[in-house]
């Protein structure tokens, strides 16, 4: 079921680095709030004090020795806390929760790109979130070189990019392919969006779907 019994809706926005997720999450939040809906915007890794601390460890380019299993547990730890402290209680109050990334990111980055078993990451994360998956996921897709180009012009948290953004182009190609594979496997939940278009056009594609869900 997409809507919770209290009328809440859990939406995630996914995509490779530089795909414009954060802009789209904010545009969607604004549109829904203008229509009188209560909206909570959160991000992964992060969204709680614990999660934001974990984010600092995960993305710090100084920790270049971090193994993929270590990443899986840290992303999963931040996610477990976010779901139990913030997402679930909000959904139970009928709030619309928009998360900038969720489980699909772990499967694409640590699984398809990082070389660990996607099924195992899926199972581990469903345990961490007590089975919570988004009712709808928007996958913002664009060619890898376009995403990396956008990153270079955007002032990020770390000069020169965070630890994940700094990985080579082959890694980012596998991330994109992984996301596309996930969209193919779960077309009911994951809606593919052409993120090469201007932000307003991308927003229209997303809004068309969300409007139908409410």
In the complex, the residues that contact ligand TMP under the rule CB under 6 A are 17, 43-45, 59, 75, 101, 105-106, 109-110, 164-165
* Pair of tokens at residue 34: 């203008």
- The nearest distance, CB 43 to ligand TMP, in angstroms, is 6
Got the DSSP string for the chain?
--B-TTS-EEEEEE-STTS-HHHHHHHHHHHHHHTT--EEEEESS-SSHHHHHHHHHHH-TT-TT--HHHHHHHHHHHHHHHIIIIIHHHHHTT-EEEEES-HHHHIIIIIIIT-S-HHHHHHHHHHHTTT---SEEEEEE--HHHHHHHHHHS--SSTT--TTTTS-HHHHHHHHHHHHHHHHH-TTTEEEEETTS-HHHHHHHHHHHHHHH-
For residue 95, the minimal CB distance to ligand TMP (Å) is 21
Kindly tell me which of 91 and 107 has the beta carbon lying closer to ligand TMP.
107
- Residue whose CB is less far from ligand TMP, 32 or 58: 58
CB of 21 to ligand TMP, least distance (A): 6
Which CB, 32 or 107, lies closer to ligand TMP? 107
Which residue's CB is nearer to ligand TMP, number 109 or number 138? Answer: 109
CB of residue 119 to ligand TMP, shortest distance in Å: 16
State which residue, 95 or 106, has the beta carbon closest to ligand TMP.
Answer: 106
* Distance in Å, CB of 105 to ligand TMP, minimum: 4
């Amino acid at each position: 079921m997409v809507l919770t019994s209290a009328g809440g809706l859990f939406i995630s926005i996914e995509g490779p680095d530089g795909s414009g997720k954060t802009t789209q999450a904010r545009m969607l939040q604004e549109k829904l709030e203008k229509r009188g809906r209560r909206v909570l915007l959160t991000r992964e890794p992060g969204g709680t004090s614990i999660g934001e601390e974990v984010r600092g460890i995960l993305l710090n380019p100084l920790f270049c020795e971090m193994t993929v299993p270590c990443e899986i547990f840290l992303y999963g730890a931040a996610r477990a806390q976010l779901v139990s402290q913030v997402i679930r209680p909000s959904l139970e109050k009928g709030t619309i929760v928009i998360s900038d990334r969720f489980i699909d990111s772990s499967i694409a980055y640590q699984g398809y790109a990082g070389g660990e078993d996607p099924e195992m990451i899926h199972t581990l994360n469903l345990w961490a979130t007590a089975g919570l998956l988004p009712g709808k996921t928007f996958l913002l897709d664009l060619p890898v070189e376009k995403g990396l180009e956008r990153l270079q012009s955007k002032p990020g948290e770390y000069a020169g990019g965070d630890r994940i953004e700094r990985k080579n182009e082959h890694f980012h190609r596998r991330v994109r392919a992984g996301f596309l594979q996930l969209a193919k496997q779960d077309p009911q939940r994951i809606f593919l969006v052409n993120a090469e278009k201007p932000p307003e056009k991308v927003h229209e594609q997303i809004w068309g779907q969300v409007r139908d869900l409410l």
